[in-house]
Amino acid sequence: MNKINKIKFLGDMGISQRTVEWLRNQGYDIVHLREQGLQRLADENILAKAITEERIVLTMDLDFTDLLAWSGDAFPSVIIFRLKNQKSNNVNAKLENVLNQCQNQLLAGVIISVSDDTFRVRNLPIQ
């Protein structure tokens, strides 16, 4: 089984359906909270769902960094987009770059903060 088949995603509410479709077209397993009627799910419960389903959280919400720091957990990995241009084509391009460079880290447990110019990887658990 190649790495692409191991990586599964959970799209938070800020993530566009176009990004979900793009990932599916790339062969990734992804669910979106909206598709499951979970639009109002609390962040703590989103993390619990991601852990149970072994999914990486895609989000625009900075609260996930604090929640993971407080929890001391080593999973789930979270990719946080901190972009001025949050249109799906820009998010997809940034995400493609991250996936090309960080698949092993994503499987091990990290927070990746994606900005307009670069991305930063922080290993979990946060000490």
- Per the structure block, which two tokens stand in for 124? 């979990």
**Which pLDDT does position 1 carry in this prediction?**
46
- Is the pLDDT confidence value at 4 over 70? no
Structural domain harbouring 77: 3-123
Q: How many Cβ atoms sit within 10 Å of the Cβ of residue 104?
A: 9
13-27 burial by CB neighbour count: b if 16+ within 10 A, else e? Answer: eebbeebbebbeeee
Q: pLDDT by residue (tens digit) across 61-116?
A: 999 988 988 888 899 999 999 999 999 999 999 999 999 999 999 999 999 999 99
- Is the pLDDT confidence value at 2 over 60? no
Q: pLDDT by residue (tens digit) across 5-61?
A: 689 999 999 999 999 999 999 999 999 999 999 999 999 999 999 999 999 999 999
The values of phi and psi at residue 124, to 5°, are -100, 150
When divided into structural domains, the chain yields a total of 1
At 7, which CATH number? 3.40.50
**Which pLDDT does position 126 carry in this prediction?**
86
